[in-house]
Structure 1
């Protein structure tokens, strides 16, 4: 397959991933080089990206043969990205621009919540009250840790253990998309009807406007997540090529490379 092939039967999982990382690359070029004159409209390309990958995480969780291993891959990705961000910023700088990108956090919390919902459903179906409560605990776990992280961040000084907790535990508080990451679990609950999934995206996009429609192309562009509806409506449910390792590696590597390049070129945000 060469590039994105839009056929009568729609886009495969692979096609949508390629589209997602292409838009992501454009968005991060803007992030790293905006101080050097990269136009603001490049940021628009990135607005649907998180939504696209949240949808794909629903597909991944639903069809994987090992859900716990899938969760572990996301968690390891989160740790690698976090450690890599620290190392890159130790040797390079782009003015006051910090490396806080880590979508693995959003995806891990989202998929963990899906796992919790699944556990609740199985417990209810099998009339196992303990399993149902375990599912509720799984769903609440990121929120509980989020409260702990918020408490630690409000402290005047962070000791080594506190810093380790903040950096090692994915929570909605520290996630890139904050509580918007729960769009993923919502799409999981609506996975049997694509139309309802797309309506959920539209609803989250409306919330993202803050119901302030005067600054939609300037200060607030997050509502453009609604554009994810276009490729997702074309999704045909087929996997296509896999290249799993490439997509996992592309995210951190392209961010680090762009940041290092901006630093070497003397960009100062």
Structure 2
């Protein structure tokens, strides 16, 4: 207990936030994968702050990366391969008790499109190349919505074609957290004002509370975010990209095997 209090006094690094997010995420996915075995619904509560924490760290990562293009390409490729991986896994291991719709990479990539669009709008404040920057900004902000319009026609295509093409689309309609991804550009706009960022999270949580979903528990993400000290901490650039798909597939396979044995 004393160690935890001391840690909060020192503040949490980006590394600390990511580790906290990973721990809560695993608990949430244990609930998802073992729901057929009667996993208690309260396990799902642990996962409600997770997306918010990762949205916040993505704002930090995008703001400080040395190459925004490489950062975005890494997320885009992860989004594509994660989508294909879940589709292939479910086709090889038939297990209709669990549906793999997990792909936080799509949410984060959509968020980078929004953030890059904001960057172009900010550049448009200066007279030089103002029109070009405005056009690029509008296009980037529109892409997730335009891509969403392409999803419906794809449903009429053969399944392998539909899955492959939809895997390539940064559509907000396909994002795991859907409209909640709109929180990313808002957090980015106020990246230098923690109070406003926490207020934005609270407003989203209130909205979910009004529609009576337990996603309102995302408000708990404010606690670790408030204690963020602005430091990076230990590096773990590649770890999450590997751990995220690996633990989901392993939990899915374990659940499928145990269910069939049962």
Give the TM-score of the pair, scaled to structure 1. 0.90
Q: Does 1:238 align with 2:241?
A: no
Aligned equivalents of 2:68, 2:205: Cα separation in 1: 29
After TM superposition, list the pairs within 5 Å mapping 1:203-242 onto structure 2.
Answer: 203-209=203-209, 211-212=210-211, 216=212, 220-242=213-235
8 Å Cα contact 2:8/2:227 also seen in 1: no
Aligned equivalents of 2:76, 2:91: Cα separation in 1: 23
Alpha-carbon RMSD across the aligned residues, in angstroms, is: 1.9
Structure 2, unmatched stretches of 5+, are none
Q: How many residues align?
A: 257
How far is 1:120 from its partner?
1.4
117-126 or 89-98, which moves further after superposition?
A: 89-98
Report the CA distance shift for 1:126/1:61 in structure 2 as closer, same or farther (over 3 A). Answer: farther
Report the CA distance shift for 1:16/1:104 in structure 2 as closer, same or farther (over 3 A). Answer: same
How far is 1:95 from its partner?
2.7
How far is 1:125 from its partner?
2.3
Question: What residue is the counterpart of 1:258 in the other structure?
Answer: 251
How far is 1:133 from its partner?
1.2
Report the CA distance shift for 1:163/1:33 in structure 2 as closer, same or farther (over 3 A). Answer: closer
Question: What residue is the counterpart of 1:199 in the other structure?
Answer: 199
How far is 1:149 from its partner?
1.2
Structure number with the higher helix fraction is 2
Structure 1, unmatched stretches of 5+, are none
8 Å Cα contact 1:124/1:132 also seen in 2: no
Question: What residue is the counterpart of 1:11 in the other structure?
Answer: 12
The residue matched to 1:125 in structure 2 has which SS? coil
How far is 1:107 from its partner?
0.3
Question: What residue is the counterpart of 1:170 in the other structure?
Answer: 170
Task: Kindly provide the CA deviation profile for residues 80-108 of structure 1, in whole angstroms up to 9, marking residues without a partner as x.
Answer: 21121122212223333221100000000
How far is 1:267 from its partner?
6.2
How far is 1:123 from its partner?
2.2
